[in-house]
Amino acid sequence: MAYDTIEFSLRDGVATLVLNRPDRLNSFNEAMHQEVRQALTEVQAAVEAGDCRALLLTGNGRGFCAGQDLSDRNVAPGDEMPDLGYSIETYYNPLIRTLTALPVPVVCAVNGVAAGAGANIALACDIVLAARSASFTQAFAKIGLVPDSGGTWQLPRQVGLARAKGLAMLGDKLGAEQAEAWGLIWRVVDDEGLRDEAARLAAHLATQPTRGLALIKQALNESGTNDLDTQLDLERDLQRQAGRTADYREGVAAFMEKRSPKFSGQ
Ligand code: T3D
């Protein structure tokens, strides 16, 4: 399918989705929401078919994503205000749920500023690399809104309540190196090497035990709300599933035979 507001490709087990409205810092308008949704539907089908084993998300231009396109929200005095709850329910929440539930690793390469929902979409990905010049801003407070797209859930868990409140209430830009130091992202990469490094990482993940990685993702995601007993039970159940995969058999055989494993993703 041809896209206008994104670029999408699927090659060698890696789906790559590039936000492509650089003159608006890749902020979301309705068309981009629809196209991202369509591309992720393609990803889900490819994952089910065994053709996609990792997803890479990034942006074109000097920004990763500036959240909602505010030119679609500029209401003249007296005109009806848009229902933002509808927008969240229709677009942002399903996007976060899809990324979180996708049973393959999602790598995010934050190539520039990530603002508002754009920041929290990045944080919903599994492994986040950021260009050294990139930054994250919970810009919502500056326009009278509340962090959405999972921000109020992710931030206190990732950086603690004190920093979460500072980020959310001040909306200041947090530089990539500080974000790494605070444990908000996996790693900072020099700007010029970001796309290649992220592609290498996604390609590597696409050769790994895909079922096992999906179960790891599930366990870590559910740990956010489970108590220890529940989590121990979950680990038992997921390990049982992992222990029945062809990739586990291959991993053990390769170890015993002192050779590199060749994982099929099954
Ligand atoms: O509404 C709903 O559906 C509810 C859901 C909401 C989710 C949200 O994401 S709400 C939060 C929306 N986003 C923001 O509030 C961020 C707004 N942007 C900024 O604060 C700044 O642009 C940045 C901090 C991201 C970057 O600053 P800077 O100085 O590097 O760039 P700039 O000059 O401000 O922006 C460059 C251009 O992009 C500029 O256009 P121009 O002047 O060159 O024609 C700017 O207007 C445009 N731009 C940036 N962000 C947005 C945008 N245009 C529309 N919407 C944007 N969000």
CA distance linking residue 176 with residue 133, whole number of Å: 7
The candidate with the shortest Cα–Cα distance to 93, out of 4, 153, 156, 6, is 153
Instruction: Give pLDDT, residue 118.
Output: 98
pLDDT exceeds cutoff 90 at 90? yes
Please report which confidence band the pLDDT of residue 18 belongs to, taking 50, 70 and 90 as the band edges.
Answer: very high
Q: Which atom of ligand 1 is closest in space to residue 25's alpha carbon?
A: 38
Flag whether 263 is in a domain.
no
Q: How many domains does the chain have?
A: 2
117 and 247 assigned to the same domain: no
To the nearest whole percent, how much of the chain has pLDDT over 70? 100
63-67, 73-77, 87-91, 200-204: segment of lowest average pLDDT? 73-77
154 and 222 assigned to the same domain: no
Flag whether 261 is in a domain.
no
Q: Residue 265, by phi and psi: left (phi above 0), alpha (psi -120 to 50) or beta? A: left
Instruction: Give pLDDT, residue 233.
Output: 98
CA distance linking residue 20 with residue 196, whole number of Å: 18
Flag whether 140 is in a domain.
yes
68 and 198 assigned to the same domain: yes
Instruction: Give pLDDT, residue 140.
Output: 98
Query: For atom 38 of ligand 1, which residue has the closest CA?
Result: 24
Q: 54 and 206 in contact (C-beta within 8 Å)?
A: yes
Residue of 23, 24, 25, 26 best suited for mutating to test ligand 1, as the one with most atoms within 8 Å of CB: 25
138 and 215 assigned to the same domain: no
Mean pLDDT value across residues 66-72: 97
19 lines ligand 1 (CB under 6 A): no
Helix (H/G/I), strand (E/B), else coil: 16: strand
* CA-based end-to-end distance of the chain: 28
Mean pLDDT value across residues 54-74: 97
154 and 217 assigned to the same domain: no
Instruction: Give pLDDT, residue 169.
Output: 98
pLDDT exceeds cutoff 90 at 1? no
Please report which confidence band the pLDDT of residue 76 belongs to, taking 50, 70 and 90 as the band edges.
Answer: very high
144 and 235 assigned to the same domain: no
73 lines ligand 1 (CB under 6 A): yes
Query: Does the global pTM surpass 0.95?
Result: yes
Helix (H), strand (E) at residue 101: helix 93-101
Which of 178, 205, 232 is a domain's end point?
205
Expressed as residue numbers, the domain containing 85 is: 6-205
CA distance linking residue 29 with residue 207, whole number of Å: 35
How many Å lie between the centroid of ligand 1 and the Cα of residue 190?
24
Instruction: Give pLDDT, residue 117.
Output: 98
Please report which confidence band the pLDDT of residue 113 belongs to, taking 50, 70 and 90 as the band edges.
Answer: very high
120 lines ligand 1 (CB under 6 A): no
137 lines ligand 1 (CB under 6 A): yes
Query: For atom 40 of ligand 1, which residue has the closest CA?
Result: 24
60 CB-near residues (< 8 Å, 6+ apart): 7, 18, 19, 20, 22, 26, 111
CA distance linking residue 212 with residue 7, whole number of Å: 29
